[in-house]
């Protein structure tokens, strides 16, 4: 059974895309068949997986698949092969997607779920990189996945980010009672954790650990940025800089997802 997870935080610059790519790499390293979906009109994951040229081309894309019910099954045609996982890239046409979903598309909150259900290949995991806002695209991702990983930075603004995510989840579960039973936050991924932590960072990590969710710490490593620049995850990127602890962090998250999958399948 495919497990679909939304990687989401309405704030930008907190590591959603790097979490998606490197968690995808970890799951692939564990032997799983993985699909990454770039649901962010900015196309950061598309660029970070080496498909930047597709972002600017006028080709069939997730935009057409979501707004035109007659083209839903074309989602299979836009899947790109990567050395570690498959990718559904974003396209610059998605800039108009938020407005079109609101004004021109019936059943607009379910368009991504309807499309994902048309995928022919049986992936083990589908990871959706979400946009940094509260929008119809984000609602589509949350309703499709019903499972969320919440990347944050160890700063106080993350408190409000967690509150807003819980508010959005409550809104969706109340609004679609017959279509979604629950949307679960599987874990909090604390990115850019320095080796030597100041008091503010320590206090924020303690705050996260007091939450009801599993907490994972990803260290600040230059190799993570270099891997993104080369269109691969840190598991495929060779670097003289330290990578072992970052790889271990993403592998720990992958192991949690495997454990959760086993519980769901039991």
- Cα(61)–Cα(59) distance, integer angstroms: 6
pLDDT in tens, 100-136: 776 666 678 889 999 999 999 999 999 999 998 878 8
User: Is 188 within 8 Å of 213 (Cβ atoms)?
Assistant: yes
Q: Model-level pTM?
A: 0.95
pLDDT at 104: 64
Percentage of residues in the chain having pLDDT higher than 70: 97
pLDDT at 106: 66
Q: Which helix (H) or strand (E) holds 258?
A: helix 244-265
Tokens of 95: 């800039």
Strand partners, 148: 6, 185
Question: Is the pLDDT assigned to residue 138 strictly greater than 80?
Answer: yes
Tokens of 92: 């610059």
pLDDT band at 90 (very low <50, low <70, confident <90, very high): very high
For residue 234, give every residue at least 6 positions away whose Cβ sits within 8 Å of its Cβ, in sequence order, or none: 22, 25, 221, 223, 224, 227, 243, 246, 247, 250
pLDDT at 54: 92
**Phi and psi at residue 182, in whole multiples of 5°?**
-160, 155
- Per DSSP (E only), the strands in the chain are 3-7, 34-38, 80-81, 86-88, 125-129, 147-152, 184-193, 214-219
Task: Please state the domain extents for the chain.
Answer: 3-265
pLDDT at 102: 67
pLDDT at 244: 94
pLDDT band at 215 (very low <50, low <70, confident <90, very high): very high
Of 158, 167, 155, the C-alpha closest to 202 is: 155
Domain covering 3-265, topology: Rossmann fold (3.40.50)
| Highest mean predicted confidence (pLDDT) among 35-49, 55-69, 176-190, 193-207 | 35-49
Work out the mean pLDDT of the chain and round it to a whole number. Answer: 91
Question: Is the pLDDT assigned to residue 196 strictly greater than 80?
Answer: no
pLDDT at 105: 63
- Cα(25)–Cα(35) distance, integer angstroms: 10
pLDDT at 101: 75
User: Is 6 within 8 Å of 189 (Cβ atoms)?
Assistant: no
């Amino acid at each position: 059974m495919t497990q679909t997870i939304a990687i989401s935080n309405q704030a930008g610059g907190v590591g959603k895309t790097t979490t998606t790519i490197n968690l995808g790499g970890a799951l692939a390293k564990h032997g799983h068949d993985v699909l990454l979906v770039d649901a962010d009109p900015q196309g950061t994951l598309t660029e970070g997986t080496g498909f930047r040229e597709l972002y600017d081309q006028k080709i069939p894309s997730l935009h057409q698949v979501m707004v035109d019910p007659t083209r839903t099954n074309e989602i299979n045609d836009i899947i790109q092969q990567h050395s570690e996982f498959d990718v559904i890239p974003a396209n610059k046409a998605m800039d108009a997607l938020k407005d079109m979903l609101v004004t021109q598309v019936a059943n607009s909150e379910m368009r991504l779920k309807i499309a994902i259900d048309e995928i022919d290949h049986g992936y083990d995991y589908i990871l959706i990189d979400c946009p940094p806002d509260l929008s119809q695209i984000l609602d589509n991702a949350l309703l499709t996945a019903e499972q969320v990983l919440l990347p944050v930075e160890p700063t106080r603004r993350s408190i409000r980010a967690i509150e807003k995510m819980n508010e959005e989840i409550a809104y969706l579960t109340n609004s679609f009672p017959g279509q979604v039973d629950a949307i679960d936050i599987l874990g909090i991924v604390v990115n850019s954790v320095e080796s030597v932590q100041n008091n503010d960072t320590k206090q924020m990590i303690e705050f996260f650990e007091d939450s009801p969710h599993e907490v994972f710490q990803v260290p600040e490593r230059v190799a993570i940025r270099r891997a993104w620049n080369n269109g691969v995850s840190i598991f495929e990127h060779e670097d003289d800089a330290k990578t072992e602890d970052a790889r271990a962090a993403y592998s720990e998250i992958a192991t949690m997802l495997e454990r959760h999958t086993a519980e769901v399948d039991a």
